[in-house]
């Protein structure tokens, strides 16, 4: 099939950007979205032009590196699908696709469609871990975890840190990512000792980089892993408790 692409090109972080139009010709509907971009890039290179820079790594929906704004939707139109898992059969011959980078103050554009997501690392550094003794491996069933709790933690842990939640949020808020990363530990026994410290620390850093949640739910709809906004409410609750406890402790 043949498609018309309008792609955001930007030479560097501070360079002005603009849309360029490209024709993607003879694209197989079995190819993935990123393979389609590869094809376009090969032609650009053959013509001696700069290829379109975009983010990718595993190309199997598990690493969270890819991410594009396609026709106004983060990761494109398929629910629960990362850009790399989006296939061209979703589109029809002659479609026009507008491709933009994820936009947020916390995700500065590096080049073309590539953005920096180090702000997510800053959030994780502020408490997205458990402090454990790194001696020999502990006995597997030393700490019993109820099935429902383990399932809930796994639901949160499914977050691959792609940033589509921020990209899709009309407020540029990172609540879904942060709440998933807080909850995956806060619901488990192993996460309890640092529960409140973690919540306060991660929320504080989140608010330095991103916007504030207005409960629109756009993040949940864009999330390739179907992370639920229930985790946002759980984070809010833990934040309230942590603030109260922090005051008492002092």
Partner 1 sequence: MTTMQTTAPARSSRTPFLVELYRSALGKKYVMAITGLIFMGYVLAHMLGNLKLYQGAEEFNTYADFLRRLLYPIMPESATLNLMRVVLVIALVLHVVAAAQLTAMNRKARPERYRSKRDFVAADFAARTMRWTGVIVLLFVIYHLADFTWGWVNPAPEGASIYERVVASFQVPAISAFYLVANLALGVHLYHGVWSLFQSMGWVSRRFNHWRRMLAVGFTVVVIGGNLSFPIAVLTGIID
Q: How far is the CB of 178 from ligand SF4 (least distance, A)?
A: 9
Euclidean distance between CA atoms 199 and 181, whole angstroms = 10
Which of ligand SF4, partner 1, ligand FES, none binds 217 (CB below 5-8 Å, type-dependent)? partner 1
From the list 160, 169, 202, 235, which residue makes contact with ligand SF4 (rule: CB under 6 A)? 160
Q: Which is nearer to ligand SF4, 181 or 198 (CB)?
A: 181
**Residue 229 contacts ligand SF4 per CB under 6 A:** no
- For partner 1, the binding residues (CB under 8 A) are 6, 8, 19, 69, 71-73, 77, 79, 98, 100, 103-106, 146, 149, 170-173, 187, 189, 192-197, 200-201, 203-204, 207, 210-218, 220-222, 229-230, 232-240, 242-250
Q: How far is the CB of 4 from partner 1 (least distance, A)?
A: 13
Euclidean distance between CA atoms 36 and 87, whole angstroms = 9
What burial class does residue 15 get, using C-beta atoms within 10 Å of its C-beta: 0-12 exposed, 13-18 middle, 19+ buried? Answer: exposed
Which of partner 1, ligand FES, ligand SF4, none binds 61 (CB below 5-8 Å, type-dependent)? ligand FES
**Residue 232 contacts ligand SF4 per CB under 6 A:** no
Q: Which is nearer to partner 1, 28 or 215 (CB)?
A: 215
Q: Which is nearer to ligand FES, 116 or 246 (CB)?
A: 116
Task: Tell how far CA 201 is from the center of its chain.
Answer: 20
DSSP string for residues in the chain: --EEEEEEEESSTTS-EEEEEEEE-S--TTSBHHHHHHHHHHHHHHTTPPPPP---SSSSSSS-----EETTEET-SSTT--GGG-BGGGS-TT-EEEEE---BTTB-EEETTEE--HHHHHHHHTT-S-----SSPPPTTSS---HHHHHHHHHHHT-----HHHHH-TT---HHHHHHHHHHHHTSGGGSTTHHHHHHHHHHHHHHHS-------HHHHH-TT---THHHHHHHHHHHHHHHHHHHH-
Q: How far is the CB of 159 from ligand SF4 (least distance, A)?
A: 3
Site for ligand SF4 in 171-210 (CB under 6 A): 176-177, 180
Which of ligand SF4, ligand FES, partner 1, none binds 82 (CB below 5-8 Å, type-dependent)? ligand FES
- For ligand FES, the binding residues (CB under 6 A) are 56-59, 61-66, 82-84, 160
Which of partner 1, ligand FES, ligand SF4, none binds 65 (CB below 5-8 Å, type-dependent)? ligand FES
Binding residues vs ligand SF4 (CB under 6 A): 159-165, 176-177, 180, 222-225, 227
């Amino acid at each position: 099939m043949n498609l018309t692409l309008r792609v955001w090109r930007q030479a560097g972080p501070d360079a002005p950007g603009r849309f360029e139009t490209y024709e993607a010709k003879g694209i197989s509907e079995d190819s993935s979205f990123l393979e389609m971009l590869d094809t376009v890039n090969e032609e650009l290179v053959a013509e001696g032009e700069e290829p379109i820079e975009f983010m990718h790594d595993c190309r199997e929906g598990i690493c969270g590196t890819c991410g594009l704004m396609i026709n106004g939707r983060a990761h494109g139109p398929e629910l629960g699908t990362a850009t790399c898992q989006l296939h061209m059969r979703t589109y029809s011959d002659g479609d026009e696709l507008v491709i933009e980078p994820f936009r947020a103050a916390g995700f500065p554009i590096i080049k073309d469609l590539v953005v920096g997501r180090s702000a997510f690392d800053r959030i994780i550094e502020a408490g997205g871990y458990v402090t454990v003794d790194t001696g020999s491996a502990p006995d597997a069933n030393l700490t019993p975890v109820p099935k429902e709790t383990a399932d809930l933690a796994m639901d949160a842990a499914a977050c691959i840190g792609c940033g589509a939640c921020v990209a899709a949020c009309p407020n540029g808020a990172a609540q879904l990512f942060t709440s998933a990363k807080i909850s995956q530990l806060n619901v488990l026994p192993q996460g309890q000792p640092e529960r409140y410290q973690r919540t306060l620390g991660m929320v504080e850093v989140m608010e330095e980089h991103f916007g504030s949640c207005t409960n629109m739910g756009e993040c949940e709809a864009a999330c390739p892993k179907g992370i639920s906004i229930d985790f946002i409410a759980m984070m809010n609750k833990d934040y309230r408790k942590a603030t109260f406890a922090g005051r008492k402790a002092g």
